[in-house]
Amino acid sequence: MNSIYDLTREQMVEAFLAIGEKKFRANQVFEWLYTKNVHDWSQMTNLSKTLQAKLAENFSCDLLEIVEKQVSADGTTKYLLALDDGGLIETVLMIHPYGQSLCVTSQLGCNMACKFCASGLLKKQRNLTSGEMVRQIMTVQNDLNERVSHVVIMGTGEPFDNYDNVMNFIYTINAPKGLAIGARHITVSTCGLVPRIYDFAKEGIQVNLAISLHAPNDDIRNTLMPINKTYPMDQLRAAIKDYIEATNRRVTLEYILLKDVNDDVKYARQLAHYLRGLNVYVNLIPYNAVDEKGFQKSSEDKIQAFKDELLRLHINVTLRKEHGSDIDGACGQLRAKKERRA
């Protein structure tokens, strides 16, 4: 049975018309689901019993099953969720001064094979539907009885490898009479699927774009991220430049600092040269070590020196606050451990 959460507002209207119902009924259901957070047809009290039964025959409105939950001392909560077909995914809630941010997974497994990343410990089995992404938010909100205010699509998987479903997900959670999460409170992260960056520039929505860069040159990026062999850094830079010109939006460059790999100050200089003239800022990320990968976190001194050098060269830079370091912090770790135990 199809999940009602797979439908955007416009698709829901079409689906209701197809089963002989009025457009306004679809709008009522959309508000029940997203504004009132009701996920039981029988509790949608302004719908007739006949319509409730018809909906129950055609659509599921179930949330995801919470299989396991880890809560960090800093309030970060990692959820292991079961999909309807038994697949396991993770979603992570982070507490910030500005609100509650949820890191959403877009694929069951990942094929990008980034050498440092726990998400790729288990290969991609399939894309998630837009509804399975929406249900991650709905499940967490139901568990917390609080609203998620910000969403980052940078959990397991490559969002731009699941482009259509990810865009439907964004349009659903951004809908004014739905979850109404502002476009500027939504961030989508890609490891560098260049054609999709050009597509994303044409969407006309003010969602934030983050690029997982993690290297200052092609030699290092080729060893860390196989995608770079298909779309090397000169092609990636051209796509970023086009995106900025088309949208007038600043782009975030994610850079995980790996001990003795990409953390020397000479690489900060190379990175600054690569970024010169682009409206970007660099988000430096301390590494969450993954046992199977062999990489280590850079020292505090190295991290600070790298940041200081970028600042000296007039590159906007921030250092990401670490979240969930006392639990299975890196994306994919909890799921991989559960799968291995099984």
Report the pLDDT averaged over residues 183-212. 97
pLDDT over 60 (residue 341): no
- Would you place residue 123 in the very low, low, confident or very high pLDDT band (cuts 50, 70, 90)? confident
Nearest CA to 86 out of 125, 33, 138, 123 is that of 125
- The model's confidence at residue 309, banded by pLDDT at 50, 70 and 90, is very high
Please give the domain boundaries of the chain with CATH numbers for all domains.
Answer: 2-60 (1.10.150.530), 65-341 (3.20.20.70)
Length of the chain: 342
- Whether the pLDDT of residue 321 is over 80: the answer is no
* 212 labeled binding residue: yes
| Ligand-binding site membership of 3 (annotated) | no
pLDDT band at 319 (very low <50, low <70, confident <90, very high): very high
Q: Is 313 annotated as a binding residue?
A: no
132 in catalytic set: no
Query: Which DSSP category does 146 fall into?
Result: S
User: 333 falls in which pLDDT band (50, 70, 90)?
Assistant: low
Residue 340 in this model has a pLDDT that exceeds 80: no
pLDDT in tens, 282-295: 999 999 877 666 89
Please check if 275 is assigned to a binding site.
no
The more confident residue out of 82 and 291 is 82
Q: What percent of the chain has pLDDT over 90?
A: 85
61, 103, 191, 331: which one is catalytic? 331
331 is catalytic: yes
Quote the mean pLDDT of the chain. Answer: 93
DSSP per-residue letters across 187-206: EEEES--HHHHHHHHTS---
Annotated catalytic residue within 90, 132, 254, 309: 90
Asked if the model's pLDDT at residue 119 lies above 90, the reply is: no
Please check if 309 is assigned to a binding site. Answer: no
The answer to whether residue 81 scores a pLDDT higher than 90 is yes
Name the residue with tokens 């500027």.
184
- Residues near 45 by Cβ (< 8 Å), separated by ≥ 6? none
Mean pLDDT across the stretch 55-82?
A: 95
| Contacts within 8 Å (CB) and 24+ apart, 79-83 | 79/136, 79/139, 79/140, 79/143, 80/334, 80/335, 80/338, 81/136, 81/139, 83/108, 83/128, 83/132
Confidence band of 312 (pLDDT split at 50, 70, 90) = very high
